[in-house]
Structure 1
Amino acid sequence: MPKADMGRRYRLYPTVEAGARLTAWGHTCRALWNMALHQRIYAYEQRGKTLNLAGQGVHLTQARKELNWVADLPAQSAQQVLRHLDAAYANFWNPDHPAGFPSFKKRGHRLSVSFPGQAVAVRKLNRHWAEVRLPKLGWVRFRLSRATGGTIRSAAVSRDGNGWHVSFGVHTGRKPEAANGNPACGVDFGVAASAYVSTETEPRRMPPTLTKGEKVRLRFLEQRKARQITYAKKHAGCRYGNRLRKTITQIARLKTRQANRRADFTHKLTTDLAKSHGMVGIEDLRVKNMTKSAKGTVEHPGAKVRQKAGLNRSILDNAPGERRRQLEYKCRMHGSKLVAVPAFHTSQTCAACGKVDPESRQGCGRLFSCVHCRHEDDADHNASLEIEARARRTGGSVTNSTRSTPAVRVPAQRGRRTRETQLATRR
């Protein structure tokens, strides 16, 4: 049976009763995930046994007979929870997959209910609206913002700060496009300049994901939430009141708006890069290592912790990992090729002569000035040219350059220059 090769996401509009039931189902799915994960960990640690979908399916059937809140959840959705847990374990044991060990889901985790494709049906009402039939709920309307374009293999109903959405895994049967023949480029993803393309003269900057007023309101809501949580712990036995839940909802709405704006810029950027270029070179970044906290330990506390936290937020706001994920499948769709090259010394390598010298990049300024050949350029544009040069070589190696001025990418073998010597050389 063909698998889904494309995703479609639409805004869902359930009734009040249907929304309440979907919310309950979402919490049931979260509880089943946590119980199934705990059972697998216990069975392995205490008895040395490995459980999977087949083994836990028997316990799930028994739980549906004894617990009404489990029986209310459609059987297909409960089985999907165990299938997803199997996939999480498979990804963890796969050395080529970056996933870590499956983790437990908190109550604040995004609510989601999954269904196999055989359990749902879709019918079009008119040009802008359609309905999806969900088990035990019947037909629910959603906004048909684009055609599904294939056979539905799976469905998932989720809720965020803006409301409910339905996502379909669709099999389109689309084959990778032939090479489009467009010119190659290198892209340097950064913070000050969201993306600098080697074939362009100006960087692409992501608009602020929150306006000044929204940032002020978000800060106010976060402070109010902290006060309300403190009050709930002291006087309400840690029970959340309606006012606290309202504050959390308002924060979630702002955060969702911010995430949607970030996703909109990311999709437009990656689509344009894949369509307009035959090869896209990017840095092979280790985002998890780049955004580690600097707080250190009790014995060895870190320095400039708040500054590093602000830098981490700026890096994650530009979503370099998501950009790479989107480029991987969009390049195949549009006849392009994605090449990830080693990221070391791209900001210190001269794109003209190819020599590496940290003194060519003074501080964190925007100017790159080579102390060897006196080449000057925007630091991010220079890095994008170097990324493109590395991507053109087989495997992204930093030697055997094919450019018109061949150079080996290694630090220059010389003594450290003084500032006066650098200035005299530039004159």
Structure 2
Amino acid sequence: MKADMGRRYRAYPTDGQGQVLTRWGHTVRALWNVALEQRMYLWEQRRYTLRSAEQCKQLTAGRADLEWLGELPAQAGQQILRQLDQAHDNFWNLQAGFPRRKKRGHRLSIPFPGQAIEIRKLNRKWAEVRLPKLGWLRFRLSRAIGGTVRNATVSRDGNGWHISFGIHTGRQPGAPNKKLACGVDFGVAVSAFVSTETTPRLMPPTLTANEKNRLKALEQRRARQLTYAKKHNGGRYSRRLRQTITQIAKLTARRTNRRRDFTHKLTTDLAKNHGMIGIEDLRVKNMTKTAKGSVETPGKKVRAKACLNRAILDGTPGERRRQLEYKTRIYGSVLVAVPPFHTSQTCAACGLVDPQSRQGCGRLFACTRCGHEDDADHNASVEIEARARRTSGSDINSTHSAPRVRVRASRPRRTREAQRPAHAG
């Protein structure tokens, strides 16, 4: 019985509990790094695959010798090793990259299995969870848990402590809702343009102008304080430097929450109100590669490419697709990913593929053959919907009609006389 849904709540530990959780978070990070190094060493030297069943025995011996490791609950340490197993399995199954080491600035989190915790409700708005070696931890019951708790994770970000539960709800996929199909074009200038709509959906600014200026000033202050710490304090962080880092973390957490809120509202609305959703099968990792080269062959427009990469990642196309994948199953719709090639250069009316139909990166699309004019992003969303319908063979009703064949623009073939330079004899 695996968890099929997640619940996240704001936790309010006491001062003593907060100090204990902070120590546990750093212990978890160290345990992950040591276990990963041990697995890498054995594989490189002996081609031996080490798994959590064997490492758990070594963990028991290490807890008796190391005080800082013995303070961590055994269930949390065992859960970390199981998560490392899953990370390696995802790598071998080509679902993710190789597991990475966790840096000191990594978000603190302590995992627990569902059997090691106990939850009780205090009133309509509050509840508490009993954690091993910590006692009862209060959290804000902002929504019902609604299922069997399979695991729990206590984490901390810039806004404070949170507790997340993996819940098994047993919810079955929804029946087909038989609503209209649509295509969605996710972009940078326009967050999302739906083919059945006439206006784009724009994500509100994740930070106001004052917050952006404050974040920039704080990052500059942190750079100066880090330089001073390296020169005069031997790299040790001062109290003021830690305060600056905390203030930066609060602003970045606020930005992340606002972005997550827009993404959830967008994907939920799309999954509820459409029977089929067509999106582009984007390779975000390739799209956001850096333009920075080497000393011998330096890159071109590195700063501009870095700004473009930040804008692409700010839209979180991968997270939108992940949310659509599980929400479409819940609300009875279908998600279809289509090849993204030339969607912005294809006319949705006649099917002509011509880069000249969209001059530069403007917002206007004007077909060079049939004269069809439309917003470039809306034209692309209609083309995405047409491709999704052909790919899935769906008979879901659509408000748009598109030809089955896409043709490329015919260019006049240049003769040898035309190709010859004018100065040639």
- TM-score > 0.5, shorter chain as reference: yes
Distance 1:213 1:91 in 2: 42
After superposition, where does 1:3-402 map in structure 2 within 5 Å?
3-95=2-94, 97=95, 99-395=96-392
Task: Provide the residue aligned with 2:421 in structure 1.
Answer: none
- The answer to whether the Cα contact below 8 Å between 2:348 and 2:402 also exists between their aligned partners in 1 is no
> How much has 1:297 moved relative to structure 2?
1.7
- Paired residues of 2:174 and 2:331 also in contact (CA < 8 A): yes
Q: Percent identity?
A: 73
Is contact 2:181-2:277 (8 Å) kept?
yes
Superposed displacement of residue 406, structure 1: 2.5
Question: How far off its partner does 1:405 sit?
Answer: 5.4
Q: Measure, in 1, the Cα distance between the counterparts of 2:261 and 2:163.
A: 18
Deviation at 1:59, TM superposition (A): 1.3
Q: Secondary structure at the match of 2:80?
A: helix
What is the distance in 2 between the residues matched to 1:297 and 1:396? Answer: 48
Deviating beyond 4 angstroms after TM superposition, the runs of 4 or more aligned structure 1 residues are none
Q: CA deviation at 1:49?
A: 1.4
Distance 1:60 1:195 in 2: 48
Report the 3-state secondary structure (helix = DSSP H, G, I; strand = E; otherwise coil) of the residue aligned with 2:20.
helix
Structure 2 CA distance, aligned partners of 1:404 and 1:175? 33
State the Cα deviation string for residues 45-79 of structure 1 (Å, max 9, x = none).
11221100112112111100100110100000000
Distance 1:413 1:146, change over 3 A: same
- Counterpart CA distance in 1 for 2:321 and 2:135 is 39
Q: Which ranges in structure 1 are unaligned for 5 or more consecutive residues?
A: 398-402, 418-427
The 1:404/1:187 distance shift into structure 2, 3 A limit, reads closer
Return 405-414 or 50-59, whichever deviates more.
Answer: 405-414
- Maintained 8 Å contact 2:338/2:391: no
Distance 2:401 2:76 in 1: 59
Shift of 1:161: 0.2
Deviation, 1:395, is: 4.9
- Assess, with a 3 A threshold, how the Cα gap between structure 1 residues 199 and 239 changes in structure 2: closer, same or farther: same
For the Cα contact (< 8 Å) 1:353–1:407, is it kept in 2? no
Q: 1:412 to 1:131 in 2, by over 3 A?
A: same
Q: Which digits, 9 at most, give the CA deviation of each residue in 1:112-151, with x for residues without a partner?
A: 0000000011111111111111111111110000000000
Q: Work out whether residues 183 and 278 of structure 2, in 8 Å CA contact, stay in contact via their aligned partners in 1.
A: yes
Instruction: Please state how far the C-alpha of 1:396 moved relative to its aligned partner.
Output: 8.6
1:353, 1:373 within 8 Å by CA — same for their partners in 2?
Answer: yes
Find the residue that maps to 2:353 and give its secondary structure: coil
Question: Which residue identity is paired with 2:196?
Answer: T
Q: State the alpha-carbon separation in 2 of the partners of residues 167 and 225 from structure 1.
A: 31
1:341–1:395 contact (8 Å) kept in structure 2: no
Distance 1:231 1:139 in 2: 42
Q: How many residues align?
A: 409
Deviation at 1:404, TM superposition (A): 5.1
- Provide the C-alpha distance between the structure 2 equivalents of 1:188 and 1:416, rounded to a whole number of angstroms: 34
TM-score with structure 1 length normalisation? 0.94
Secondary structure of the residue aligned to 2:282 is coil
Assess if the C-alpha contact under 8 Å between 1:6 and 1:172 holds in 2.
Answer: yes
Report the residue type matching 1:310 in the other structure: C
Which residue in 2 is equivalent to 1:406? 403
Aligned residue number for residue 417 of structure 2: none
